[in-house]
Amino acid sequence: MGKIKSLEDLMKIKESTLKDLKMRDTDKRGKIIVAMGTCGIAAGAKETLKAIVDILSEKGIEDIAVVQSGCFGLCDVEPTIEVRIGENEPVIYGHVTPNQAKRIIDQHILEGKVVSDLVVKRGEL
């Protein structure tokens, strides 16, 4: 691939990459999207991401994809994650530390119960 010369080139790459990611997720029950913008990383998103991957692995949960994204625009409640399970409404959680990630996996992913005290938003951004 050559240099990106325009916004249109960048958008084509984005569309292609998103299609590839969706193809990888087709056999998954759901996914956890971790916001990895600068603000999220500064607030601890790398540790949260690592904890999520480790906890899912420890519990043998293989039907949930873990995806990184850019900033959700919710800088004041970082680290943030979005949980999407099947056709259910997505839930965005804020202030997600590694300990809170464990709660979310135990309650939302395994039991289907939203962790209300960490919810920032329900539905699409």
Is residue 15 domain-resident?
no
Determine the Cα–Cα distance for residues 59 and 54; give it in Å rounded to an integer.
9
The residue assigned the tokens 């590694």 is 98
Mean pLDDT of 82-88: 91
Is residue 17 domain-resident?
no
Is residue 14 domain-resident?
no
Is residue 98 domain-resident?
yes
Residue 23, pLDDT score: 43
pTM for the whole structure? 0.77
Mean pLDDT of 8-17: 80
Sequence-distant (≥ 6) Cβ neighbours of residue 108 within 8 angstroms: 83, 85, 91, 114, 115
Q: Which domain holds residue 77?
A: 28-122
DSSP-based three-state secondary structure for 123:
coil
Amino acid at 55: I
Determine the Cα–Cα distance for residues 43 and 80; give it in Å rounded to an integer.
9
Is residue 71 domain-resident?
yes
pLDDT one-digit tens code per residue, 18-53: 755 654 555 788 999 999 999 999 999 999 999 999
Overall number of domains in the chain: 1
Residue 125, pLDDT score: 61
**Structure-block tokens of residue 8:** 């249109």
Task: Give percent of the chain with pLDDT exceeding 90.
Answer: 67
Is residue 3 domain-resident?
no
Is residue 42 domain-resident?
yes
The more confidently predicted of residues 6 and 124 is 6
Mean pLDDT of 51-66: 92
Give the pLDDT band of residue 107 (cuts 50, 70, 90): very high
Give the pLDDT band of residue 87 (cuts 50, 70, 90): confident
The more confidently predicted of residues 16 and 115 is 115
Is residue 21 domain-resident?
no
Specify the CATH number for the domain of residue 48: 3.40.30.10
